[in-house]
Amino acid sequence: MKNSKLILVLGFIFTISGAFGQDYAFKVLANKGTNEVKSGDSWQAIKTGASLNATDEVRLAENAYLGLIHKTGKPIEVKQAGSYKVADLASQVKGGTSVLNKYTDFILSSNSAEAQKNRLSATGAVHRGAKGLRVYLPDAQFANVLNKRVVIRWEEVKGGSPFVVILKNMFDDEILKKETTEARLEIDLSDPKLANESAILVEIRSLSDPELKTEKNLLIKKLPAAQLEALTKEMETLTQQVDTQTAISKYIMTGFYEEKNLFIDAVTAYEDLIKMAPDVPSYKESYEEFLLRNKFKEPK
């Protein structure tokens, strides 16, 4: 009887140990190039969203890229061609927190096949008619911004450039006017002309096509002091866990902003991300999916 119990206990322990042994080490958050993973005896193409186990091996082609998230939430980038044991990559990771996991999980779930299938019925941050210039600024209830630096971005239209961007106070008085040949403009909310404004109206017009303009004034709102303080502390907790100068860390920040309904900050972070890693298709696809699910853009 005792031997039977011992066998059962040992069997349970080995079962649990085996289960934990199969726990993933990384998830693939971004992927560029012909990259492969070896599980067992065979090599297979790596897909974004896939899990890598500690016993696996990965192989990167020339000019390839992998953005990985460790099970602790810590990000790591692999850029050099060659073969890597996943266990060796995991040994390079130092600590992580559930805070990181929260936002990497948010990114993965938001970009899953199921999420893409369901987005047509979802309620987005923008409700706007088909006419006029489509600007990636949300409706007023979602127009709060956390950071001082803002990138105002709009959909590129053939023959629309150059553009004029007019910023106004809530009394409709013009406070700043800038021209640009691009479909974007970066503004600094600490600019003396803007620093004392709690809310700013945005109007954009094409200088080459009078019909191409915003249908209504859009809004950028600074957060109330208490909310600003709380979110700043939360953001600082997150940025202390990552190297903010890497593309994958910038990607994690997009998840933070979107989860907090800070869509203006999310657009700015995505713009920075694409500038930082212009040749990584995973990041461009994620930005496009963000714009579609939040109704900034319409499917073509």
The answer to whether residue 110 is domain-embedded is no
Bridge partners (DSSP) of residue 259 are: none
Please answer whether residues 251 and 283 qualify as being in contact, where contact means their C-beta atoms are separated by less than 8 angstroms: yes
Q: Are residues 75 and 153 in the same domain?
A: no
pLDDT value, residue 191:
98
Q: Is 54 or 18 the better-scoring residue by pLDDT?
A: 54
The answer to whether residue 172 is domain-embedded is yes
**Span 155-161, mean pLDDT?**
92
Q: Is the pLDDT of residue 23 over 60?
A: yes
**What's the pLDDT band for 16 if we cut at 50, 70, 90?**
very low
Q: How far is CA 59 from CA 27, 190, 244, 246, in A?
A: 15, 46, 26, 21
pLDDT value, residue 96:
66
pLDDT value, residue 167:
98
pLDDT value, residue 15:
38
pLDDT value, residue 229:
98
Burial of 264 (0-12, 13-18, 19+ CB in 10 A): buried
pLDDT value, residue 110:
86
Q: State phi, psi for 191 to the nearest 5 degrees.
A: -55, 135
pLDDT value, residue 119:
56
Q: Is the pLDDT of residue 5 over 50?
A: no
The answer to whether residue 222 is domain-embedded is yes
- Locate 28 and state its tokens: 């693939």
Q: 3-state DSSP call for residue 264?
A: helix
Q: Are residues 91 and 155 in the same domain?
A: no
pLDDT in tens, 128-146: 544 579 999 999 999 999 9
pLDDT value, residue 2:
47
Q: Which of 3-7, 78-82, 128-132, 277-281 has the lowest mean pLDDT?
A: 3-7
**Please, what sign has the CA dihedral across residues 48, 96, 277, 112?**
positive
Q: Are residues 142 and 285 in the same domain?
A: yes
DSSP character for 293?
Answer: H
Please answer whether residues 193 and 175 qualify as being in contact, where contact means their C-beta atoms are separated by less than 8 angstroms: yes
User: What distance in Å separates the CA atoms of residue 76 and residue 70, rounded to the nearest whole number?
Assistant: 8
pLDDT value, residue 18:
38
Q: Is the pLDDT of residue 98 over 50?
A: yes
Closest by CA to 251, choosing from 67, 94, 109, is: 67
Domain harbouring 172, CATH code? 2.60.40.10
Q: State phi, psi for 222 to the nearest 5 degrees.
A: -80, 145
Q: Are residues 87 and 128 in the same domain?
A: no
Whole-structure pTM value: 0.86
The answer to whether residue 175 is domain-embedded is yes
Q: Are residues 131 and 29 in the same domain?
A: no
Q: What is the mean pLDDT of the chain?
A: 88
Q: 3-state DSSP call for residue 96?
A: coil
Q: Are residues 159 and 252 in the same domain?
A: yes
pLDDT in tens, 160-181: 999 999 999 999 999 999 999 9
Q: Are residues 147 and 274 in the same domain?
A: yes
The answer to whether residue 171 is domain-embedded is yes
- Locate 270 and state its tokens: 């995505």
The answer to whether residue 104 is domain-embedded is no
**Span 238-265, mean pLDDT?**
95
pLDDT in tens, 200-216: 999 999 999 988 999 88
Phi-psi region of 131 (alpha: psi -120 to 50; beta: other; left: phi over 0): beta
Cβ neighbours for 292, distance < 8 A, ≥ 6 positions apart? 119, 298, 299
Q: Is the pLDDT of residue 228 over 50?
A: yes
Q: Is the pLDDT of residue 10 over 60?
A: no
Q: The domain containing residue 28 runs over which residues? A: 2-95
The answer to whether residue 109 is domain-embedded is no
Task: Please state, for a pLDDT cut of 70, what percent of the chain lies above it.
Answer: 85
Bridge partners (DSSP) of residue 219 are: 201
The answer to whether residue 105 is domain-embedded is no
DSSP character for 224?
Answer: P
